[in-house]
Structure 1
Amino acid sequence: MKKYRLLVMVLLFSLLNGALLNTASAADIQLGAGDVIKISVYDHPDLALETRINEDGSISFPLIGDVSVGGVSTSVSEKKIANLLETGGFIHNAQVNIIVTSMQSQVVSVLGQVNRPGRYAIDGKRSLTDILALAGGGNADAGDTVTLIRQRDGKTQKEVIDLIDMVRTGDMQSNQELLGGDVIYIERAPRFYIYGEIQRPGAYRLERNMTVLQALSVGGGLSQRGTARGVRLKRLDAKGVLQETTVQHGDKVGPDDVLYVQESLF
């Protein structure tokens, strides 16, 4: 439980840090189709406009007509509109301000074992942990790793990131900045199964480096008729064939392993 509390603290910190970063870098937001923007021109309230960017990345602005703003930042779009107003002879020394009121073009998808799966807008710079924090973090069934799928230079890239290692080592290189279209997927944590002469037979979460003795403890310990000697383990080999062996208390339990506690002969 301690490691999960630590992870939650990191995610919450990341959320707060991301909010501050977003405020500071609002001018760097890249605009795209579907985004809703509010445009104002200093000392010209009649030119105020709130509009949605068309599929071709353009908007229609009073006096100057269609303007392409898709694929560039708000600051670049502000300068472009100001320049068109000035060169068209409409306004001298135009001062244009753009605020994004709804970001629809730059979204990432968060799937799998999270508390709030869905699509999240990247309004400014957002890291992996920022988006996970927005999605409420992993749920009770979440594993320790995140799969990040993204398109870069026309190629699909897949990376598996170990959140626990990232937190423990403090190496945040894997906490990458995300872009629109990225997909985050958290798989269900691996399980093991235990049955036979055990207090609570069933399926349980497999912790890292879990031993047979720890697995027996998770299952509530032996029943009155159970014996700790000769615990049997069933595991699929590399060819998918089920193998059965006798294990010792210090042996490691793997994903989808099945433990069988035998009945004592005495």
Structure 2
Amino acid sequence: MGTRVISCWLAVLLLVLTTWHAVAGETKGPPAGYRIGPNDVIRIQVFGEEDLSVEARVSGDGKLDYPLLGVLQVGGKTTQDLQALLTKRLSAGYVRSPKVTVSIARHRNVYVSGEVKTPGGFPFEDGLTAQKAVTMAGGFTDKAVRNGLTITRRSEGHEQTFNAPLTTPLLPDDMLVVAQLQKFYLMGEVMRPGPYPFEEQLTAKKAVSFGGGYTDKADKKTLKVTRVTESGAQTIAIGPDDLILPSDILAVGSHNYKVYISGEVRAPGAYPYSENISLQKALTLAGGVTEKADRKEMTVRRVVGGQEQTLVLPLEAAVQPEDLIVVREGQKVYVTGEVKTPGRYAYEAGATVQRVLTLAGGVTEKAEASVVKLTRTTAEGVETTVVALDAAVVPEDIILVVPKSDRFYVSGEVKNPGGYAHKEGLSLQKALAMAGGATEKGDVERVQVVRIVNHQEEHVAVTLESLVLPEDTIVVAERQKVYVTGEVRTRGGIRMRRGCRCRRR
């Protein structure tokens, strides 16, 4: 009998130990030297003490509320540190020889930003690489540099940023940034003009090869780069071994003279030069200007005496060989608020607020036509003022048509019938005073209020102390009259007063 009981207890103990190791094996150990931080989910198991075995999230300040011991500061500790701390604290009068195991149930997030489809934070998991994190973020966008990954990592209170291949393992709290693809542009006598991905140590010769090489008309010695610097755009002659920088425009010249057209035209590119060609005709070669273009003046970059000059010319001006014509986007004014077609509109010299509102289709029925606000950026800052309709506008002005405020209406025997701005708590007596009060013919004891209730008009009984609601119509009636004729001294109509009686004398 005793042997059978001992065997039974051994079987139970074996089952408990098997279950314990199975549960403990569900969570892999954290990376070497990993320190607990906010949002980590910690699993603490005390053998034989179910009430002390918990799974909880570390708070933002690195603390954890644990049974019996209260709030513990666990942030910055390793799992081994926390395990030793719990063992020591529980041994001090709570549990005899506690067997404590601490593991990370769920790590805090890693973060992916830049040129990925769904940037954000994602749960860390063991074995997570940069490649897998990008996949979790929806993959690369079309603008991504697939070998341009950087990782920002905080360790021991210090932050470091380094370049990383896709196979780089990630740690919790890592920030992975996918860089945007930089480009350069080919134009002129190349087989396939257009934008191309930039790469380090890119020479002009290699850049031309991206575009399919030179055309038959190309002058391989005539290479020009238009480059934007702190002092502005510059066009310089370069050789085939000179380096190309991001956003450079590399133009390959031809044995035949060309003019180059870019900016707000429908078909930018290089076009054959002919004698006495005007800017207007040159733009026609490029398909004409777009809707956004400034149609009055064009910018022409021209080399004069070995130096590039930027000229602003009218459409009738003549083009010279190798000119670069840049069609700028036109100046705009912006209209918003209660207009029929809000948006941006081409600025016209001398335009007024009224003219711009006409371009926007006019104001809506909800507009407070007498209140138009104009926001303008000046050297002193941004200013917003109420302006008249004949006020002049300047480029980049923002015109706001304000919606109507709540109103009520007064008619009948008042001195100034019309609509008035409604205010909360407005009484009938004050509303009549706003309309100038009743006329001599008005009967303030016979005032009617027409009110919309459930989309239907109703006549509401009121007193002078009654509240007026938005859209109410107040009607002051004319005093009633009685008419006297016959053998009286003054025949005619007499205004009726309440309680008035006729007496014979």
Taking structure 2 as the reference length, the TM-score comes to 0.38
Tell me the equivalent position of 2:59.
Answer: 54
Amino acid at match of 1:84: R
**Structure 2 residue 93 is the aligned partner of structure 1 residue 102:** no
Q: 1:257 aligns with which of 229, 241, 248?
A: 248
Query: CA contact under 8 A between 2:113 and 2:119: conserved in structure 1?
Result: yes
Q: 2:71 aligns with which of 51, 66, 70?
A: 66
Higher relative contact order (CA 8 A, sep 6+): 1
1:24 to 1:112, Cα distance in 2 relative to 1, 3 A: same
Structure 2 CA distance for aligned equivalents of residues 81 and 196 of structure 1: 74
**1:158 Cα deviation from its structure 2 partner:** 7.0
**Structure 2 residue 97 is the aligned partner of structure 1 residue 93:** yes
Tell me the equivalent position of 1:201.
Answer: 193
Structure 2 CA distance for aligned equivalents of residues 204 and 189 of structure 1: 10
Query: CA contact under 8 A between 2:30 and 2:103: conserved in structure 1?
Result: no
* Bigger-Rg structure (1/2): 2
Query: CA contact under 8 A between 2:226 and 2:233: conserved in structure 1?
Result: yes
Deviations 1:222-259 (A, max 9, x none): 3344332312221234x333222333222222222111
Amino acid at match of 2:192: R
Query: CA contact under 8 A between 1:59 and 1:67: conserved in structure 2?
Result: yes
Deviations 1:20-54 (A, max 9, x none): xxx66557432233221221112334532222223
Query: CA contact under 8 A between 2:154 and 2:160: conserved in structure 1?
Result: no
Equivalences for residues 17-36 of structure 1 within 5 A: 26=31, 28-36=33-41
How much identity, in percent, do the aligned residues show? 25
Amino acid at match of 2:49: H
Tell me the equivalent position of 1:210.
Answer: 202
Structure 1 CA distance for aligned equivalents of residues 153 and 198 of structure 2: 29
Q: Secondary structure at the match of 2:48?
A: coil
Q: Secondary structure at the match of 1:208?
A: coil
5+ residue gaps, structure 1: 1-22, 164-174
Q: Secondary structure at the match of 1:236?
A: strand
Deviations 1:45-76 (A, max 9, x none): 45322222234433333344433323322212
**Structure 2 residue 113 is the aligned partner of structure 1 residue 111:** yes
Tell me the equivalent position of 1:39.
Answer: 44
By percentage of residues, which structure has more helix? 1
Amino acid at match of 1:264: H
Structure 1 CA distance for aligned equivalents of residues 228 and 218 of structure 2: 25
Q: Secondary structure at the match of 2:88?
A: helix
Tell me the equivalent position of 1:232.
Answer: 224
**Structure 2 residue 180 is the aligned partner of structure 1 residue 188:** yes
Count of residue pairs the alignment pairs up: 227
Amino acid at match of 1:87: A
Query: CA contact under 8 A between 2:112 and 2:175: conserved in structure 1?
Result: yes
Query: CA contact under 8 A between 2:115 and 2:140: conserved in structure 1?
Result: yes
**Which segment drifts farther, 37-46 or 57-66?**
57-66
Amino acid at match of 2:246: P
User: Over aligned residues, Cα RMSD in angstroms?
Assistant: 3.9
Structure 2 CA distance for aligned equivalents of residues 65 and 40 of structure 1: 16
Amino acid at match of 1:82: T
Query: CA contact under 8 A between 1:29 and 1:123: conserved in structure 2?
Result: no
Query: CA contact under 8 A between 2:107 and 2:172: conserved in structure 1?
Result: no
Structure 1 CA distance for aligned equivalents of residues 191 and 75 of structure 2: 62
Taking structure 1 as the reference length, the TM-score comes to 0.65
**1:204 Cα deviation from its structure 2 partner:** 0.7
Amino acid at match of 1:199: M
5+ residue gaps, structure 2: 1-27, 258-505
Amino acid at match of 2:238: V
**Structure 2 residue 237 is the aligned partner of structure 1 residue 246:** yes
